[in-house]
Amino acid sequence: MFTRLIESLAATEALSGVFSDHSVLQAMLDFEAALARAEARCAVIPERVAAPITDAARAEDFDIAELTRLSLRAGTPAIPLVKMLTARVGAIDPEAGGFVHWGATSQDVTDTALMLLLRQCRHILQADHERILAALRRLSNDHAATVMLGRTLLQPAPPVTFGLKAAGWCAAVRRGWERVSSRFDEALYLQFGGASGTLAALESRGLAVSEALAIELDLKLPDGPWHGHRDRLGALMAALSIYIASLGKMALDIALLMQFEVGEVAEPGGDGRGGSSTMPHKRNPTACMLTLASAKRVPGLLADFVGGMIGEHERALGAWQAEWPLVHGIVQSAGVAVQSMAEVAEGLTVDAARMRANLESTQGTIFAERAVMMLAPSMGRDAARRTVEDALRDAGAPPDLPGLHTPEEYLGSAEEFRRRLLQGDK
């Protein structure tokens, strides 16, 4: 499945396939076919009409361009879809055509279709997520003892290890996915409420049909229709947004470490990745750039979604109808970010020698804190600080104390923290 050119930096091929016109239409038709089978099983409609409705519910037989045009006129794709499906079923079996969409409403079709699409997205996102975790664990273990500058407020700070940095990325991304996964579990529910959420058209058999329909579609059955309450879907969008932000943090760190003046790591290149249209020498942090673009795009989408949760009564006027593009944008952004950072993590080049050289280029100034701590027991903390500050001002370096400039001896609990982060300690 191809991605539209206008979305080429904001979508992946895999998720474009899930959100393709054919896939979206088929998800809506799957609802209609499953509804007919569930109602036939519950003796709400004649048993024999379920088969022709199911047989007619094939996306390839519909004029998607015409459906799209009519959807804008109708304010929902469900209305023209039901008309088209009814006509197709009626051509096969006139009686069966009268039982299409029996007792359902437009939002039942579109909300449930969205759940079916999101379920497919979950597996695609998770596969790339697991690639990131495996690669970051390997990087962390391989570089457990690789010392590098710590950097606070973009300035040199006492040393850390690259293994600790990678473990921090790994833990944040893992926590983020745990939230996303739990929100997927929470969100993937059937929506089936009929005209105003009571299934009154089905009289006393509404709940029985709901249970049968949930089984047909392999979705969970909610305690009641959720058409007016978007909190579970909103929680999933929020969790995805936080997850993307954690990937963005990793991307920004790596992009900064890739700067020529720093040169401590590099994204994988080749195959059209990282070049410039005018500067052949360039090796741009392209995957990090795409991830950061996703992370910058998502907060506005999430804010719009949350704003739309405040809807009127049993069906919102405009707010609910705004959701599909917002959900699509957030999920596609997650797809771009997780796929890009999986590529980065798996192919990242780490220059341990450059890390050491950059650390040593500070001429020991990053050990000023350590010098204070070494002098404090004999002269007191305030006097020790003044002594170190005077030395830095006069000589550009802290006092030359035994062992002061050995970074491996000033890592504190870095290794213990690294191991705990990889083990999943909270």
Residue 98 sits in a domain of what CATH number? Answer: 1.10.275.10
C-alpha closest to that of 130 among 162, 185, 178: 178
Residue 335 CA to residue 330 CA, distance in Å, equals 9
Q: Which residue has the higher pLDDT, 400 or 265?
A: 265
pLDDT at 279 over 50: no
Angle between the 21-41 and 64-74 helix axes, to the nearest 10 degrees? 80
Residue 285 is classified by DSSP as -
Residue 385 belongs to some domain of the structure? yes
- What distances in angstroms separate CA 97 from CA 53, 74, 107, 381, one per listed residue? 7, 21, 21, 87
Using CA of residue 102, residue 108, residue 110, residue 113, what is the dihedral sign? negative
Share of the chain above pLDDT 90, in %: 90
pLDDT at 2: 77
pLDDT in tens, 139-163: 999 999 999 999 999 999 999 999 9
pLDDT in tens, 2-12: 789 899 999 99
Active site residue 340: no
Residue 274 is classified by DSSP as S
pLDDT at 420: 97
| Average pLDDT score, the chain | 94
Give the number of other Cβ atoms within 10 Å of residue 243's Cβ.
27
Residue 387 belongs to some domain of the structure? yes
pLDDT at 220 over 50: yes
Q: Provide mean pLDDT across the span 295-310.
A: 97
pLDDT at 397: 87
Give the number of other Cβ atoms within 10 Å of residue 312's Cβ.
11
Residue 258 belongs to some domain of the structure? no
CB 177 within 8 A of CB 129: yes
- Residue that is last in its domain, among 219, 236, 263: 219
Share of the chain above pLDDT 70, in %: 96
Q: pTM of the predicted model, to two decimals?
A: 0.94
Q: Where are the beta strands (DSSP E) in 118-175?
A: 147-152, 155-161
pLDDT at 281: 53
Residue 296 binned pLDDT confidence (cut-offs 50, 70, 90): very high
Residue 329 belongs to some domain of the structure? no
Range of the domain at 35: 1-104+193-219
pLDDT at 395: 87
Token output for 353: 């020698």
pLDDT at 425: 53
Q: Where are the beta strands (DSSP E) in 334-380?
A: 349-350
Residue 2 CA to residue 30 CA, distance in Å, equals 23
In degrees rounded to 5, what are phi and psi of residue 150? -80, 150
Query: Catalytic residue among 183, 230, 297, 315, which?
Result: 315
- Residue written as tokens 């054919």? 22
- Residue that is last in its domain, among 219, 236, 256: 219
pLDDT at 276: 46
Residue 170 belongs to some domain of the structure? no
Residue 189 CA to residue 108 CA, distance in Å, equals 11
Cα 20 vs. chain centroid, distance in angstroms? 19
Residue 317 is classified by DSSP as S
pLDDT at 419: 98
Angle ∠(187,333,344) on CA atoms, nearest 5: 120
Query: Catalytic residue among 58, 69, 182, 276, which?
Result: 276
Residue 316 binned pLDDT confidence (cut-offs 50, 70, 90): very high
C-alpha closest to that of 173 among 341, 293, 359: 341
Residue 198 CA to residue 195 CA, distance in Å, equals 7
Helix (H) / strand (E) containing 266: strand 265-266
Active site residue 315: yes
Give the number of other Cβ atoms within 10 Å of residue 47's Cβ.
11
Residue 301 belongs to some domain of the structure? no
Token output for 361: 């280029």
pLDDT at 426 over 70: no
Residue 64 belongs to some domain of the structure? yes
Tell me how many domains the chain contains: 2
CB 116 within 8 A of CB 27: yes
pLDDT in tens, 228-267: 999 999 999 999 999 999 999 999 999 999 999 999 999 9
pLDDT at 273: 61
- Residue written as tokens 């799209």? 68
Token output for 87: 């006509």
Residue 99 CA to residue 87 CA, distance in Å, equals 11
pLDDT at 277 over 70: no
- Residue that is last in its domain, among 169, 203, 219: 219
pLDDT in tens, 27-81: 999 999 999 999 999 999 999 999 999 999 999 999 999 999 999 999 999 999 9
Q: Provide mean pLDDT across the span 407-422.
A: 97
pLDDT at 282 over 80: no
Residue 170 CA to residue 137 CA, distance in Å, equals 7
Residue 224 belongs to some domain of the structure? no
Q: Which of 78-87, 317-326, 373-382 has the highest mean pLDDT?
A: 78-87
